[in-house]
Amino acid sequence: MSDFIANFQETLAYVGVLMPSLLTGAWYTVKLFVVTLVLSLPLGLPFALGGNSRFWIFRFVCKTYIWIFRGTPLILQLFFFYFFIPISMGIRFSAFTTAAITFVLNYAAYFAEIYRGGINSIDHGQYEAAHSLGLSKSQTMFGIILPQTMKCVLPPVSNEAIVLIKDTALVSVMGVAELMKASTSAVNRDVNPSAYLVAAVIYLIFTFLLTLLSNFLERRFSMYDARGEW
């Protein structure tokens, strides 16, 4: 028993030593997550609208974009941009910037499809009512359709956000010292898997916070529903 306690204290002390590097890694993870979400959420919208456009050229461009980014592995896209940007444009961005660009483009494609599904699920009567009141196409889209779409895209969007926080681990292959990379380094250096456990706990905290946020938003957006008594 005393052995176990001694062991436990030792482990705690070791985790304390690990924490600074893991937290630095977690900070990178959060940065990549936030940058990706903040940029890809709005970027998905023009691709969603373009995918529904009357003009075939818009539809073609948007659908091809979505097809390519959803149809190939994210890790392949990461490597591709890692080599492609410096070679084709002669600029070398940091690994973090390259990763962020790739993630934004990739997630925007997913969000575009989610938005498009949401837009298409709105009853056609809403368009007819808007038209009969003299609203223009853009007034209808931004004032009537999209606000209603918000509510039904929220669950799939928060689901994607949770996938994203875990996908950030992929950029460890590019040498960005995010949480996954930081814990792997520690495990390899000290031949002790505890760092993975700590990393798992940190990821779980992130996803838990995201779940809280999405539940809060879902409640906010459902305020105009008729609610039953139970």
Under rule CB under 8 A, residue 43 binds other proteins: no
Give the x/- contact pattern for other proteins in 77-106, rule: CB under 8 A: ------------------------------
CA of 55: how far to CAs of 51, 114, 124, in Å? 9, 21, 20
Quick one: angle between helices 194-221 and 146-167, nearest 10? 180
Under rule CB under 8 A, residue 139 binds other proteins: yes
Under rule CB under 8 A, residue 159 binds other proteins: no
Tokens 């659908």, located at residue: 63
Identified binder of other proteins from the candidate list 219, 223, 228, 230, rule CB under 8 A: 223
Identified binder of other proteins from the candidate list 95, 135, 169, 173, rule CB under 8 A: 135
- In this structure, the chain runs to a length of 230
Q: Is the Cβ–Cβ distance between 188 and 175 less than 8 Å?
A: no
User: Which is nearest to 145 in space by CA: 158, 155, 159, 131?
Assistant: 131
Residues sharing a CB contact under 8 Å with residue 3, sequence separation 6 or more, in sequence order: none
Under rule CB under 8 A, residue 138 binds other proteins: no
Identified binder of other proteins from the candidate list 129, 163, 205, 209, rule CB under 8 A: 129
Under rule CB under 8 A, residue 147 binds other proteins: yes
Residue type present at position 169: A
Q: Under the rule (CB under 8 A), what is the footprint of other proteins?
A: 123, 125-126, 128-129, 131-136, 139, 143-144, 147-148, 151, 223-226
